[in-house]
């Protein structure tokens, strides 16, 4: 039985917010948001089971699960479909693609979790969740939010890139630039002093410098 979300938001979740706690049924048994404390988590919603775009996304996430695990990052999905629909869909994916969805998919028939996370609007005309992605750090803080419309699929590679970039930035190794990939150069944090501005070899050298 799903517990009520412990904190409702008067506005959508934002970067820097603590995630609302909940307990729900999933394809891997009862699961709670607090179970992921101490690890990174990608928590994402999909409009419905047994739909073509969602199926392509789940196949891609499942195939990339070991790459997420290598980053110390778990995966968890949500839709308003029932637990039994999730089981049947996971079976269909396995039988057709030879891929096992080994991360939990939680049910949200009352929409309470989806609405608390902004996955389902309070005034939505149907129960389908948008394609929301919340990247949550080990302290259960929202670090990134990516939302796609229901019509198009997400990029799993981009989600992996965001997790890796956040971890690099948190490690103080530098700032990942546009399109950054692991192993690529990072930008150094600018030194906000007049001396560093005047001593730079060129007008942009004080703020636009790769890490050594």
Q: What is the 3-state secondary structure (H, E, C) of 155-173?
A: CHHHHHHHHHHHHHHHCCC
Give one DSSP letter per residue of the chain, joined into a string. Answer: -PPPPS---SS---TTPBPPP-EE-BBTBSEEGGGGTTSEEEEEE-S-SS-HHHHHHHHHHHHTHHHHHHTTEEEEEEESS-HHHHHHHHHHHHHHHS----S-EEE-TT-HHHHHTTSS-TT-SSSPPPEEEEEE-TTSBEEEEEEE-TTS---HHHHHHHHHHHHHHHTTS-B--TT--TTS--BPPP--SHHHHHHSSSTTTTTS-B--
Active site residue 54: yes
For 45, list phi and psi in degrees, rounded to 5: -115, 155
Catalytic pick from 10, 54, 73, 211? 54
Contact present, 66 and 33 (Cβ < 8 Å): no
Active-site positions read 54
């Amino acid at each position: 039985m799903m517990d009520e979300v412990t904190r409702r938001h008067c506005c959508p979740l934002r970067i820097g917010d603590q995630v609302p706690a909940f307990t729900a049924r999933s394809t891997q048994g009862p699961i709670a948001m607090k179970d992921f404390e101490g690890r990174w988590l990608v928590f994402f919603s999909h409009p419905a089971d047994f739909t073509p775009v969602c199926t392509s996304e789940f196949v891609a996430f499942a195939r990339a699960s070991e790459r997420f695990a290598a980053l110390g990052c778990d995966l968890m999905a949500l839709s308003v479909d029932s637990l039994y629909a999730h089981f049947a869909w996971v079976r269909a994916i396995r039988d057709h693609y030879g891929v096992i969805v080994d991360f939990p998919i939680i049910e949200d028939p009352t929409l309470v979790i989806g609405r608390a996370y902004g996955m389902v609007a309070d005034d939505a005309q149907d129960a389908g969740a948008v394609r929301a992605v919340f990247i949550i750090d080990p302290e259960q803080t929202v670090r990134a939010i990516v939302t796609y419309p229901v019509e198009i699929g997400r990029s799993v590679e981009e989600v992996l890139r965001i997790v890796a970039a956040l971890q690099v930035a948190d490690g103080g190794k530098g700032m990942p630039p546009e399109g950054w990939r692991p192993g690529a150069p990072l930008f150094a944090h600018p030194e906000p002093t007049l001396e560093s501005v005047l001593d730079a070899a060129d007008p942009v050298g004080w703020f636009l410098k790769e890490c050594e």
